[in-house]
Structure 1
Amino acid sequence: MGDSILKIKSYEFALLVIQVVSKLQKEQKEYILSRQIMRSGTAIGALIREAEFAQSKVDFIHKMSIALKEANETFYWISLLKDSHYIDNDVFVSMNTNCNELIALLVSIVKTSKKNLNS
């Protein structure tokens, strides 16, 4: 996979999540939602890294599918943080844009991989 766009974007997104969570915990003393988004938001890149050394194409698809699920869950937490007024609209837009890009890339990879597996 090398330094693929997915690998880079997921790492940068994890750094953004860490930054937002740190601020939430320090300034707003919010720990419940921030722990959830920290877990799911950083898991995306970790799963993508795991997929690099998948034991088979099926294992690769499985790991990428879980990364997709984590990205979708992260989108939920981002929306919840915005709607509960823990993050402002600028932070939401930045996180939402990055998360949606990851979701789109992962959907494409999973679909293509499944198609190639069945060919």
Structure 2
Amino acid sequence: MIRIDLEKRTRQFHIDVINLCAMLPKNIAAYELAKQVIRSAGSVGANYRASKRAKSAADFVYKIEIVLEEADESHYWLSVIRDTNLLNIALLHDLIKEANELTAIFAASDKTAKMNKNNR
């Protein structure tokens, strides 16, 4: 996947999560879940963007590992929203799928970056 496409995709993921959270019921549990998932989804895009300014191969690996962790965390929070029945709409299911795909993409990127770093 082309880097600019992945930047757009991670940014859109954050925007879609924000829009989803706006639909959550107005209660304490939903508020806390929304805070967590908005932060983790935003961190996916922000840290991926930061990875292009990595100072070294090791710095790039470090930043990609953060992106991977945050994508996986986003998947967790979205699954909790689903499993608590706070919201059951197609957008939620699409975002769970997207978080899973982003996790897989960044797991592969992490593996490749580590392999390339070790071959230098």
Give the structure-2-normalised TM-score. 0.90
In structure 1, distance between residues paired with 2:92 and 2:75: 10
State the AA in 2 paired with 1:57: A
Q: Is the 8 A contact 1:13 1:41 kept in 2?
A: yes
**Aligned equivalent of 2:106:** 106
Number of positions where the alignment pairs a residue of Structure 1 with one of Structure 2 = 115
Question: Any gaps of 5 or more consecutive residues in structure 2?
Answer: none
Of all paired residues, the percent bearing the same amino acid is 32
Per the alignment, in what secondary structure is the counterpart of residue 31 of structure 1? Answer: helix
Q: For each residue in 1:42-72, what CA deviation from the matched residue of structure 2 results, as whole angstroms up to 9, or x when unmatched?
A: 1100000111101111001101101100111
Q: Is the 8 A contact 2:20 2:92 kept in 1?
A: no
**Aligned equivalent of 1:16:** 16
Moved more, 75-84 or 92-101: 92-101
| Shift >3 Å, 4+ stretches | none
**Aligned equivalent of 1:60:** 60
- Pairwise CA RMSD: 1.3
**Aligned equivalent of 1:37:** 37
In structure 2, distance between residues paired with 1:103 and 1:15: 17
Per the alignment, in what secondary structure is the counterpart of residue 85 of structure 2? Answer: coil
Give the structure-1-normalised TM-score. 0.90
